[in-house]
Amino acid sequence: QDEARRANVEATAWLCRWAVKHHARLVFISTDYVFDGEQGAYKETDDVRPLSVYAKTKVEAEASVRALLPESQYLIFRVSATISPYGRDWMLEALREGKPIQATDEIVTPTYAPDAAESIR
């Protein structure tokens, strides 16, 4: 819990202060985990309801961004289940190795990392 808070809240606040000092625009990558998943098809204006420590620290970090920077100086970009052709693919690796994959009833809309990067750029 402390590590998540340091990584997500304290580091973000430090970046915000740096952005203010250097007149830089901050792009903060957040998560759809700020929502509890009960409603589905969320809008950015919907109330957040984080369930995990990770999600709670992301909500705190988003609040820090909004409190420390003027609206014109930041973008909060919420992503979901980021996928990419780069790096490791745990599911593909498990299938290749003949390992079982545990399925859940979780429904997500994955974010394709190259598209997210292009949108931010």
What are the structural domain ranges in the chain? 2-116
Q: What CA–CA distance (Å, rounded) separates 5 from 33? A: 15
Please say whether the dihedral angle defined by the alpha carbons of residues 83, 88, 91 and 93, taken in this order, is positive or negative.
positive
> By C-alpha distance, which of 66, 25, 26 is closest to 44?
66
Banded model confidence at residue 117, pLDDT cuts 50, 70, 90: very high
Looking at every residue in the chain, the average pLDDT score rounds to: 92
Task: State residue 40's pLDDT score.
Answer: 78
Banded model confidence at residue 14, pLDDT cuts 50, 70, 90: very high
> By C-alpha distance, which of 14, 15, 120, 12 is closest to 75?
120
Q: Between 29 and 85, where is the model more confident?
A: 29
Alpha helices (H) along the chain: 2-5, 11-22, 53-68, 90-96, 113-120
Mean pLDDT of the region 38-42: 86
Measured between its terminal Cα atoms, the distance across the chain in Å is 32
CATH number of 2-116: 3.40.50.720
